[in-house]
Structure 1
Amino acid sequence: MPSYTYPVAAPNRTLTTEEIHILLTNTRVLARRLADLTQMRFVADYLLSGRFDATGGGIFYETGEEIFAADAPEAVAPGSEYPKTVLTAGELASARTVKWGIETDITDEKIAQQGQVVVDRALARLANTVIRHVDATAWGVIASKVTSTEASAAWTTPGAALEAIVRVQEERAALGTGLDLSTVVLAPAQYAKVLAMLVDADALPRNDSNPVLDGTLPLRAFGLEWVTSPHVTGTDPWLIDRAQLGGMADQTLGSPGYVSASGVGIETLSNRHKDDKYEVRARRVTVPVVTEPMAGVRITGTGL
């Protein structure tokens, strides 16, 4: 998932009543409108960066694979065969997709009275509600699967925070895991404390990628990505490898009339109802999957 920026600027031109009705009868245009208006993006897609196809409504996957082969390498003479080893498989697990959806009505009266704003507000609220629920579900899976913890001294300065993070990274590197723990995940209150600490220490870039100036996430500092979500629980920072942690398994139902909003991951549908209204839906059929629990560490004792 690319870096996400908020808030998203509102469209410049106001649609007429006739154009609003055209918008609501063209699902593809409606999906593009939703992508423009959505002020949040799935943090689940950002942290669980893998993409799995859940055709059939579920997925089988292996988790907790051994890091090393069971046998040691041997000296091989010229022209000789290499010793063969059997790689042990991880524990087989399965996950089933869930269709998370919500619907609302937009009446002709509201369109005539309030115009474009009633449509924009309905689309944004539906999408953000789906995003909030999927993100909360995904974080619950991450927090339950990633059980490793590392103690740290209090994060009173950027140096203290960096020392703790680098120590954890080096300890994992010494195991030969090949993991790149380079993303720090914080709850909003703790992210604000870290951000203030970096500002006070003049440790943020003055122009590019400075969230204080432009509200851009993720924050990039010290070779790390710092992200936050309202669905992160507790006060401890988490250090993860986004590329190895896991992914989102989405199912495409192929339902007539539904269109996916590009870059958002949400499908939309607008139905014209006989009672002078539109029934507008937003949904996502997905399940979060953690394939490598070692790709995350919860850092305790930071005092944040």
Structure 2
Amino acid sequence: MSNFVHTLAQWRVVGSATKKAVLLYLADRASDDGSGIWMSKATAAAHLELSKRSVQKVIGELEADALVSQVGQRPCEHGYTVEYRINIDVLKQLPEIATKGGGRPRKKGVNEVHGVNLVQGEGRTTFTGRGEPDSPKPSIEPSIEPSNTPQPPQGERDLFAGDDQGDKAPPAPTEDQHFEEFWQAYPKKAGKPAARKAFAKAVKRAPAEVIIRGARLYASWLSSPPRAGEFRPSAKHPQGWLNDDRWEDDVLKGMADPQQVSRADRARRFDPPSWQPVVR
């Protein structure tokens, strides 16, 4: 287990509680550089109290986000298990969780109030002996006095009325939406009705996000210049590509997702530099 990777993942926003749970589970099994992760998806599902299908789907989403990548296979009793790696650089680019006070809580859980340390932990509050000798201990009961904090106008309050209602996950994309995304990514537009039927069967064997990412990688591979002596065939019909599970082709493994590359380029283009020029 890497405390560094686990802490880094814990303080990043990934979009849903299920994705965060699976990401932290993977981080528990990672080395400090994010590598060396392998486990049974059935075991992970049992530990996380999720279905195996849910674990497979979430790992596919993490791969589509380039947070996790496959680096190889390890033999096991029933064949092999996939070895994963958490991409630390991509994880660091995610927004960091902001606490109510505007930053991370103190590591030791110590807050100082009027010269008295309040050490909170495991359901109790302990007063250390600092402060004035005869000063009363601060009350830990909630105040019932009205707050003097200025409130925004009613109209502005209405804009944020739903902020405290809890995070609600956006509705999951439908199969038709997933197919249209696949169709836009796939390089050869031919036989759409047959491709739609093949896609409906393919998503029962692999998460839709993994198939769509495979289509993007396949299009990128076809458009890239071939290596010396490499045969580069024309694009397959989408129906045959789906029926043959071609998103698992070895030639696509290790390729960078063009969608993630474009996101990283935009981030580098628009993010302000972390350094300041020296004016002499």
TM-score band by shorter chain is: under 0.3
Give the number of the structure whose residues are more often strand, by fraction: 1
Query: Which protein has greater RCO, CA pairs closer than 8 Å, 6+ apart?
Result: 1
Give the number of the structure whose residues are more often helix, by fraction: 2
